[in-house]
Every structure is written in C-alpha cells, then in structure tokens.
Amino acid sequence: MTNVQSKFSPIFCTCREFLHPWTDSCTISIADILINTVPQSMRIYAVVYLLSLIMRHRIPTLLDLKRTLIGIIQSTAFLSTNSFTFVLYVCLLRNVLGKFYFLSNTFLPAYMASLTAIYIERPVRRPLLALYVANVATETLWRMAESRGYVKSIPKGQALIFGVSVSALLYIYRLGLHKSDPCKDSIFDILRIFVGKNEECMSRIERPVVPSSSVQPEINGAFQAYSRCIRWIKGKHDCCPHSEGCLQYALMGGLKPFVGGVGLQVVLKIVLNIRKILTGRMNFQKDILDPKTLALGMFLGSFSFLYKGVSCTLRNTTGKDDPRYAIPAGMIGSIAFTQYPDITVALYVMWKTLQIVYNYGESKKMLPKVQGFLVFLYCFCTATLFHAAIIEPLNLRPSYYKFLHSLSGGRVGLFNRSFLDVWGMQSSDALREVMKRTGTEKLPKKLLGA
C-alpha cells in the first residue's frame, strides 16, 4: 500500500516517466501531440462553423465563405496550441524545478497553456469558450467537493438551479431589458419560442378587478372566485397580452413545444442510428418509440404550459400585469425540468444568467468592471479540467474525458498516474475505471509498443 504524503511534498520522476512514456524526447512528444490535434481540431471546428453558416438561412456569399475558412483555421490554431503547449509547459517546469509538485504537474502548466492559446482565438468567441468550460468545470468542482464530503447532492437539484436562473432571465424578458445591449443575448430568442412573444414585455393595459354592482350590491367571495375561474377558462382578463382565452393560450402554448421536443428527439435518434437503419438492425420500437423519447417534449411542453398558466392566473387574480409575475411562474414552470434533469442545460442557463446580470450591473455602474476576467475564467476552468483528467478523472464528465482522449490520440491515457498515487487520490485506479466506463481502454498500438 502506498504511503500518502502531503500535497506540498514533491514527487521525483522525470517528465518522460510521467508525461510521455512513449518517447524519451520532450520535443518529439510535443510534436506528436501537435500532429494529432491539428486534424482533430480542424474536424471539430469545420462542423461548428459550417453549422453556424447553415443556421443563417441564406445562401453564403464569397465573403461569408472566406470568413468561415479563416475562422476554422484560427480556431484550429487555438485548440491545437492549447493542447501541445500543455506538454511543453509540463516538461519546462519539470526541468526548471527539478521535480514535480502538486500544482506544477498539471494545473499550472494547463493554466499557462490556456493563457497562451486564448489570445489566438477571436475575441468574439472568447465569451463562448469561457462559458463552455465554466459549465463543465462547475460540475467537476462540485464532484470534487462531493467526493471529499464537503457537499451533498440533492435529488433533482438541477431543477432548482434551472428554476432560479430561468426565473431571472424571464423577469429580464418581461421588463424588456433583453432588447438593450447589456442584456442582449441569443438565449432570449430560445425563451421566446417557449413562452411566446406575448410575454415579451409587460402589457400596458392594467385594469383592477372591480365587481359589477348593476345586479347585486354585494357579491360574496365564493361567487367572485367562481366568476374569476369561469373567466380564466372561457375568456381572458383585459390585462392578459394574448387574444385567445387563457386556458386555450396555456394549452396550445404547451402543445407546440411538446410536439417540437418529441420531433427533435426522434430526428436525433434517427441521425445517430443511421448506420443501424441502413443495415436493417434498427429496432424502432425499442430505439425510437421509447419513453425517454418523450422526456424532452414533456419538459418543454409542461414548462410552457405551467409558465403561461401561472402568469394568466396571477393576472386574473390581481387584475393587473406585472413583470415580477415571471419569477413565481418561472419557478413553478421549472418543476417540469424534473422530466429532463440535464445538468449541462441547468449550468448553461445559470452561467448565461450570471453573465447577463453582470453585464447589466456593470453598464449601470452597480458592479465593477474586471479587466481580463473572461480570460482568467477560461484559463482557471480549463486548468481545473486538465487537473481532474489527470489526477482525479472520476470527477470529470465522461464526455470531456473522451474529448481529451480523442484530441490527444489516446495519449492522455498513457500518462503514468502511478507516480501521483502518493498524494492519496488513487489516480491510477481512477484512470482504469474511467477508461472502462468511456470505452477508451484500447490505446493505439504504435504507442503501446513504444
């Protein structure tokens, strides 16, 4: 059994023993990573940029094609640089310090590599990159804290994160602030699909509920509540921004996203199983007509129905419209997220909300402007992910480990974690388990035979 030593204690091994056991040369190992990451990076960004071009819904001009090609090349250079300079800085720090320390073996060189690479990428893409790695790093940091017993996850906790975040976004949407530069973001275009244009800004008609006295001088509370209920079912209040009845508005508002969500899931499953379909091995009842296929549609439809239903109920009850109604409506609507509890979606919405709120606060001089924060966020989060991939891979999202595995040509699985076990993280055992879970046990023969 290996004795556990302090994180401040160094480990004595060469960079060849730890980082590149397939070759004795640091220079060759750096070149190997570079040669493998360039085509992988180009393949990734070719798909990203071409999809972006298609989503413009117009025939691209020569200028569009030129910008797309330059963007692919620039983004490829960014990702490739982030990869091969990591190996460069690990070897450099090992040769300068003469040994490996807990931070110098992964976190610090990954931070330095990210700092080198991020300035190659276009400034307009840096916020997107920072948001993506912050999403994955937040989940990773939570898993790290949970594995140490510092925190404890609650069932369907993603719904709470999603609810708080989407309620804030919907409040901004109802206020109409999303039309101004500080808050302008594509996420509001997505929200508009599910909550509708009618909910975009507060309606200007506000008429308090005044009981009619033409027939009876007094109307008791029970009859008044009954009247409101009938009006909600059959008609609508004057302050409601929609033209149809409230019940029809809520039901149809939920039906359309439900159909769209189910349709999207079916299309994705067909695309992902196209090889099975062509070879006749596709089981449509099992692979397509599956209860999980309804999950996305149930979430989207239920969320829209609950949000609109609660909003109309509050308007009918109070006799006025108020952008603050978006908060309880969003929180109640987020119960639907338990049908599709995707942590990636929840964290994406959370980080988007934080970004928009900060931009608004900074524009109003309510929050300080922190120069270079996006660069720091990207570098810190990427370094955290590299640290997890090498030292405690069980706490890393499996899909991100597979991404690193593919990008490095399987070399990330060759890093010798046995030297790191003295820090008590069981890194080598964790690697074997992660490789088994992700199906990355088979490493390239040319590396295994080196």
Contact 246, 235 (CB under 8 A): yes
Contact 135, 318 (CB under 8 A): no
pTM, 2 dp: 0.84
Give dist(CA 308, CA 286) in Å, integer. Answer: 34
Give dist(CA 310, CA 240) in Å, integer. Answer: 12
Instruction: Note down pLDDT in tens along the chain; length 450 residues.
Output: 456 667 778 888 898 899 998 889 999 999 999 999 999 999 999 988 988 888 777 788 889 889 999 999 999 999 999 999 999 999 999 999 989 998 899 999 999 999 999 999 999 999 999 999 999 999 999 999 999 999 998 888 899 999 999 999 999 999 989 888 889 988 998 898 888 888 887 654 444 444 444 444 444 555 455 555 555 566 677 888 888 888 888 998 899 899 988 888 888 777 777 777 777 776 666 666 677 778 888 999 999 999 999 999 898 888 888 999 999 999 999 999 998 888 999 999 999 999 999 999 999 899 998 889 999 999 999 999 999 999 999 999 999 999 999 999 889 988 999 888 888 888 999 999 999 999 887 765 555 544
Strand partners, 41: none
Burial letters 145-171, b for 16+ CB under 10 A, else e: eeeeeeeeeeeeebbebbbbbbbbbbb
Give dist(CA 381, CA 397) in Å, integer. Answer: 13
| String of DSSP letters for 288-337 | TS-TTHHHHHHHHHHHHHHHHHHHHHHHHHHSS--GGGHHHHHHHHGGGG
Token couple for 11: 């480990």
Give dist(CA 117, CA 424) in Å, integer. Answer: 32
DSSP structure class, residue 181: T
Give dist(CA 117, CA 129) in Å, integer. Answer: 12
For residue 100, the SS3 value is: strand
Amino acid code (one letter) for 420? L
